[in-house]
């Protein structure tokens, strides 16, 4: 039981579909299983979400490629009549079922070994993170300053940029963050201000990242501006089209992405 629970926690770094001879895949085998259970191509096609013609085309292709005929059909009109798997078809089902189990075990073993590899953790674990946040950045915590209520977390991006994020002490404890932890940073596009000449402003925002405009897209009301940071990562910013035109934003122009520390949402990256 503990082993099963551990396996469920292992991320699927490697996935793969079992396919025989480049054609016989799980979809084809599922169709054959459905035919064996129902005795009807028409019923099997409905179970698979296929048209009757589409199911027949798959079967004909499999029959032509196989060394022996996989199914036999008795006459019965447009509905397909009675259909049964031949001995060769049943043998193919048994073979594929056995290979599916071996294939699944192989992938489990491979993913288990990768889960213990620190290089894989570093390179691939971030790809498993799925969020609705417009901007997703990854970094490493380099410092934490706490007060009686709040905490400031200092994060360094892979390109060297520094970001400050504010959160409560309870949130810090709940996320179990510490110096050296890898974290996900979420920043909504509407929380970022675009500034082209920061020297002429006194900014209260803690974060001011320099970059250049790599995309500007207008929709008649708002504009989405993509700013590439010096380290190579990019941020999407949503401002009004009037603001974008006033700032003279265009491709290649140097600019700054400015946002407050409480605009940053931190996410802890689980360790496997």
User: Quick one: 88 and 138 in the same domain?
Assistant: no
Helix 26-38 crosses helix 87-115 at what angle (to 10 degrees)?
140
pLDDT above 90 covers a percentage of the chain that reads 28
DSSP code, position 1: -
Mean pLDDT, rounded, for 67-96: 74
The domain tally of the chain equals 2
Mean pLDDT, rounded, for 51-76: 76
- Across 91-105, 127-141, 151-165, least confident range: 127-141
User: Quick one: 138 and 155 in the same domain?
Assistant: yes
What is the pLDDT at residue 61?
A: 76
What is the pLDDT at residue 77?
A: 47
Q: What CATH number is associated with residue 164?
A: 2.40.50.100
Q: How far from the centroid of its chain's Cα atoms is residue 54's Cα?
A: 31
User: Quick one: 154 and 72 in the same domain?
Assistant: no
Any idea which residue has 């032509």 for tokens?
Answer: 64
Distance (Å) of CA 55 to CA 43, 51, 69, 72, 81? 10, 6, 16, 14, 14
Distance CA(80)–CA(13), nearest Å, equals 43
User: Quick one: 47 and 136 in the same domain?
Assistant: no
User: Quick one: 13 and 104 in the same domain?
Assistant: yes
User: Quick one: 109 and 219 in the same domain?
Assistant: no
What backbone phi and psi angles, to 5 degrees, belong to 261?
Answer: -65, -30
Of 120, 141, 161, the last residue of a domain is: 120
Burial letters 38-75, b for 16+ CB under 10 A, else e? bbbbbbbbebbebebeebbebbeebbeebeeebbeeee
Which pLDDT band, with edges at 50, 70 and 90, does 3 fall under?
Answer: very low
At 129 the three-state DSSP class reads coil
Of 63, 86, 120, the last residue of a domain is: 120
Of 91, 120, 149, the last residue of a domain is: 120
The pTM of this model reads 0.54
User: Quick one: 135 and 264 in the same domain?
Assistant: yes
User: Quick one: 14 and 138 in the same domain?
Assistant: no
Per the structure, the complete domain to which residue 10 belongs is given by 2-120
User: Quick one: 95 and 143 in the same domain?
Assistant: no
Any idea which residue has 């401002």 for tokens?
Answer: 239
User: Quick one: 188 and 79 in the same domain?
Assistant: no
Q: What CATH number is associated with residue 42?
A: 1.10.10.10
User: What integer best gives the mean pLDDT of the chain?
Assistant: 81
Distance CA(235)–CA(194), nearest Å, equals 11
Mind listing the pLDDT tens digit for each residue in 201-245?
777 788 999 999 999 998 889 999 999 998 888 899 999 999 999
Mind listing the pLDDT tens digit for each residue in 16-43?
777 776 667 888 888 888 988 888 888 8
């Amino acid at each position: 039981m503990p082993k099963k629970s551990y396996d469920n926690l292992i991320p699927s770094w490697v996935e793969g579909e079992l396919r025989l001879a480049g054609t016989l895949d799980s979809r084809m085998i599922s169709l054959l299983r459905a035919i064996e259970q129902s005795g009807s191509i028409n019923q099997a096609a409905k179970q698979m979400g296929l048209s009757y013609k589409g199911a027949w085309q798959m079967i004909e292709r499999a029959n032509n490629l196989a060394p022996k005929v996989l199914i036999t059909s008795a006459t019965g009109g447009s509905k397909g009549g009675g259909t049964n798997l031949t001995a060769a078809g049943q043998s193919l089902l048994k073979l594929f079922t056995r290979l599916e189990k071996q294939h699944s075990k192989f992938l489990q073993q491979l993913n288990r070994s990768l889960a213990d590899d620190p290089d894989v953790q570093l390179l691939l674990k971030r790809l498993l993170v799925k969020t609705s946040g417009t901007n997703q950045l990854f970094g490493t915590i380099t410092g934490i300053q706490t007060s009686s209520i709040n905490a400031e977390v200092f994060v360094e991006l892979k390109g060297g940029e520094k970001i400050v994020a504010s959160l409560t002490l309870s949130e810090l404890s709940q996320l179990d963050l510490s110096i050296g932890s890898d974290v996900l940073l979420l920043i909504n596009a509407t929380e970022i201000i675009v500034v082209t000449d920061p020297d002429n402003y006194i900014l209260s925002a803690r974060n001011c990242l320099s970059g250049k405009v790599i995309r500007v897209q207008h929709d008649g009301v708002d504009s989405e501006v993509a700013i590439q940071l010096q380290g190579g990562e990019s941020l999407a910013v949503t401002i009004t089209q009037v603001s974008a035109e006033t700032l003279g934003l265009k491709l290649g122009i140097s600019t700054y992405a400015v946002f407050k520390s409480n605009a940053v949402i931190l996410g802890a990256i689980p360790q496997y």
